[in-house]
Amino acid sequence: MNRLLLVYFVVLCAGCSYGMTRAQVKKTMGIIKNQCMPKNSVTEEQVGRIEQGVFIEDRNVMCYVACIYKSLQVVKNDKLDMALITKQIDILYPPELKEPVKKSVAACFHSQDNYSDFCEGVFYASKCLYEKDPASFIFP
């Protein structure tokens, strides 16, 4: 819980400085990764290459991805929330990535609606984000 508060504090502080660098975003997300991995019984081998487009279709991996987004506070009522995502992009992302990422989110947001399961919906929406713009995709 203390780590989650630390992440939240870092996110709030970042909002005062027009976003973070890509490395800072990765580092902040790394804290969340360290919490979500044991919660979902996944290994680095399973999730360590998501940022490079390696999405292993395994229930635990899917729920790990959902855990990341939940911890980033972009989920409301077990669905990704466009307003919350946009807010976090504005706070966290470097200026040069904000618009490309928002464009990908707009294209992929409704892909979650194809799945009744929360973990699956978030997983495939995240996979869509990578496929739309691999260069702008950041994931721990």
Among 3.30.70.20, 1.20.1630.10, 1.20.140.10, 1.10.238.20, name the CATH number for the domain at 2-136.
Answer: 1.10.238.20
Give start and end residues of each alpha helix (H) in the chain.
2-14, 22-39, 44-47, 59-71, 82-92, 95-108, 118-132
Report helix angle 95-108 to 82-92, nearest 10. 160
What's the confidence (pLDDT) of residue 25? 86
Answer whether 133's CB lies under 8 Å from 100's CB: yes
What's the confidence (pLDDT) of residue 18? 65
Q: List phi, psi (to 5°) of 79.
A: -140, 145
Q: What is the mean pLDDT of residues 105-127?
A: 97
Q: What is the pLDDT of residues 11-41, one digit of tens each?
A: 444 444 467 888 888 888 899 999 999 999 9
Q: What is the pLDDT of residues 57-112, one digit of tens each?
A: 999 999 999 999 999 999 999 999 999 999 999 999 999 999 999 999 999 999 99
Contacts of 56 (CB under 8 A, 6+ apart): 46, 47
Answer whether 120's CB lies under 8 Å from 65's CB: no
Res 9 pLDDT > 70: no
Domain limits of the chain? 2-136
Q: Tokens 């194809």, residue?
A: 114
Q: What is the mean pLDDT of residues 43-53?
A: 97
Between 43 and 5, the more confident residue is 43
| Separation CA 91–CA 98 (nearest Å) | 9
What's the confidence (pLDDT) of residue 3? 53
Question: Residue 138 in 3-state DSSP?
Answer: coil
Q: What is the mean pLDDT of residues 128-137?
A: 97
